[in-house]
Amino acid sequence: MMARRTRRREFQTVGAQMAYDLLGKNFTPPDIHAKVTGKAKYSEDIRADGMVYVKLLTSPMPHARVTSVDASAALAMPGVHGVLTADEVTNPPAPQETILTNEPLFVGHPILAVAADTEELATDALEQIKVTYEELPFTVDPLQSLFPGGPNARTDGNVVQGVELKDVKWTAQDFAAVAEGQLPQGAPLSEWSFGDIEAGFAAAKLVLDETFVTAGLGHHSMEPRSAFAYWQNGKCHLYGSTQSQSFPVPGIARLCGVEPADLVYVSEFCGGGFGSKGGAYPLMAIPALMSKKLGRPVMMRISRHEEYFMGSARPGFQGRIKMGFAADGRVTAVDLYVVQENGPNQGFNDWSSAAEAVTIIYQPAAMRFRGVPVATNTPPRGPQR
């Protein structure tokens, strides 16, 4: 315990010294010279003898089932070394994001990968691969999915609760009970309250009841989610773009099918993440698994167009908030309902964080929160700073 207190005091001392040295003063970040001179090496700058390039075949549909894949013509092309399909990878359990999939859940969802001597050749090979699809119901609007008989973004449910999927529908009466432009308020997935909100509204001098919308927003980091991988002496060597060197390692190791001790992960520089690259993401496993299959180093460079679909985005809200104000401006009561556009996977808990933020910012005397995150056939959702 004494050692822990000593370390805490040391950290506080260092923090105070940094504040004294840097705040309000000009200073040079230690990595700036490497970045502006080009000496900084990002994942897609790595090269190796025998390296091949991977390109991804992605879904043209928001929700579908792959019924057949014929890659024979592509594999017959000189310089094409292999194809990796969803049947060859071990995906995380639903509702987590997949590495490759036979049930694409959004436009741009990776279905398979092809490796060739050049990116141009790999792109040409993709054109020779024949994929047939069965179209499935889809939705990009959470309220459409909640409506009785409305389409679900997934075949196994439309609402994520922890690690489980549920099928949640509101009643027609829930939708009919509100005026045009107001958010319906059906059964929530989560609900909590404190204080007496009815008394708070009764005591208020002003009560506002507003419906609001916040749009989902793609991260679009300057550096896309490119990755490079090779295997040596039973270990997977992977170069990626993450906001931490160590935190993503267990997740990346699971995706690559190795123990963390057998993963050598390098992320020396990260060209932006804004929360979206805080942990492991399944795309990183594709070059690693292709490299293991081919016995060659593999580079996967994600284009800006692909990053729009495969990269993360902040969840969108459809919300309704009722607030009571006293004559002196104090907030007497809040009633908040949030329907979150959750993307097709586990999403992120912005819907509940929003309620916590309301309690901190407005400090109401009484409050009720209700919310539900609904799966949508949109690019995956995640944290965004």
Asked if the structure places residue 21 within a domain, the reply is no
Report how far apart, in Å, the C-alpha atoms of 114 and of each of 45, 81, 98, 298 are: 20, 8, 17, 11
> 238 and 201, same structural domain?
no
At 2, the pLDDT band (50, 70, 90 cuts) reads very low
For residue 50, the tally of other CB atoms under 10 A from its CB is 11
In the block, tokens 């990009």 appear at: 140
Asked if the structure places residue 48 within a domain, the reply is yes
Mean pLDDT across 303-309 = 93
So what's the pLDDT on residue 20?
67
> 57 and 187, same structural domain?
no
Q: Please report which residue ranges of the chain form alpha helices under DSSP H.
A: 2-22, 32-37, 72-75, 119-127, 142-146, 172-176, 197-203, 249-256, 285-294, 304-310, 350-362
Domain boundary among 300, 335, 364: 300
So what's the pLDDT on residue 193?
98
Give me the domain span that covers residue 233. 43-136+227-300
The residue ranking higher by pLDDT, 193 or 10, is 193
Mean pLDDT across 324-336 = 98
At 24, the pLDDT band (50, 70, 90 cuts) reads confident
Asked if the structure places residue 236 within a domain, the reply is yes
So what's the pLDDT on residue 150?
97
Asked if the structure places residue 6 within a domain, the reply is no
Asked if the structure places residue 148 within a domain, the reply is yes
Residue 231 and residue 237 in contact, taking contact as beta carbons nearer than 8 Å: yes
Answer yes or no: is pLDDT of 14 > 60: no
> 172 and 92, same structural domain?
no
> 129 and 164, same structural domain?
no
For residues 52 and 74, give the distance between their C-alpha atoms in angstroms, rounded to a whole number: 15
Mean pLDDT across 294-302 = 98
For residues 44 and 33, give the distance between their C-alpha atoms in angstroms, rounded to a whole number: 19
| Bridging pattern class, strands 298-300 and 52-58 | parallel
Q: DSSP labels for 193-257?
A: EES-HHHHHHH-SEEEEEEEEE--EE---SS-S-EEEEEETTEEEEE---S-SSTTHHHHHHHHT
- Lookup: tokens for 183: 């958010």
> 196 and 55, same structural domain?
no
Number of H helices and E strands in the chain, helices first, is 11, 18
Asked if the structure places residue 153 within a domain, the reply is yes
Mean pLDDT across 30-39 = 90
**CB-based contacts of 302, cutoff 8 Å, min separation 6:** 224, 225, 226, 283, 310
> 127 and 231, same structural domain?
yes
Residue 352 exposed, middle or buried by CB count within 10 Å (0-12, 13-18, 19+): middle
With pLDDT > 90 as the criterion, what percentage of the chain qualifies?
A: 80
> 231 and 129, same structural domain?
yes
Answer yes or no: is pLDDT of 122 > 80: yes
Mean pLDDT check: name the lowest of 17-31, 139-153, 166-180, 343-357: 17-31
> 153 and 117, same structural domain?
no
Tell me the pLDDT of the chain averaged across its residues: 93
Answer yes or no: is pLDDT of 123 > 80: yes
So what's the pLDDT on residue 230?
98
Starting at the edge strand found earlier in the chain, the sheet holding 110-116 runs 80-85, 110-116, 52-58, 298-300, 227-232, 235-239, 263-266
> 332 and 198, same structural domain?
yes
Mean pLDDT check: name the lowest of 24-33, 69-78, 197-206, 327-336: 24-33
The residue ranking higher by pLDDT, 36 or 67, is 67
Answer yes or no: is pLDDT of 13 > 90: no
Domain boundary among 274, 300, 326: 300
With pLDDT > 70 as the criterion, what percentage of the chain qualifies?
A: 95
Mean pLDDT across 372-377 = 97
> 104 and 86, same structural domain?
yes
Residue 324 and residue 200 in contact, taking contact as beta carbons nearer than 8 Å: yes
From the list 114, 113, 117, the residue with the least C-alpha distance to 51 is: 117
Answer yes or no: is pLDDT of 302 > 80: yes
CATH number at residue 173: 3.30.365.10
> 286 and 151, same structural domain?
no
Mean pLDDT check: name the lowest of 31-40, 173-182, 205-214: 31-40
- Lookup: tokens for 368: 């009720």
Residue 57 exposed, middle or buried by CB count within 10 Å (0-12, 13-18, 19+): buried
Mean pLDDT across 327-336 = 98
Answer yes or no: is pLDDT of 10 > 80: no
CATH number at residue 267: 3.90.1170.50
Mean pLDDT across 262-285 = 89
So what's the pLDDT on residue 17?
64
So what's the pLDDT on residue 1?
46
Asked if the structure places residue 337 within a domain, the reply is yes
Asked if the structure places residue 58 within a domain, the reply is yes
Fill in the amino acid letter for 61: M
So what's the pLDDT on residue 15?
53
Domain boundary among 258, 274, 300: 300
For residues 253 and 260, give the distance between their C-alpha atoms in angstroms, rounded to a whole number: 5
Mean pLDDT across 275-297 = 94
For residues 93 and 142, give the distance between their C-alpha atoms in angstroms, rounded to a whole number: 23
At 4, the pLDDT band (50, 70, 90 cuts) reads very low
Phi, psi dihedral angles at 7 (to 5 degrees): -65, -40
* Number of domain units in the chain: 2
From the list 291, 317, 277, the residue with the least C-alpha distance to 141 is: 317
> 271 and 323, same structural domain?
no
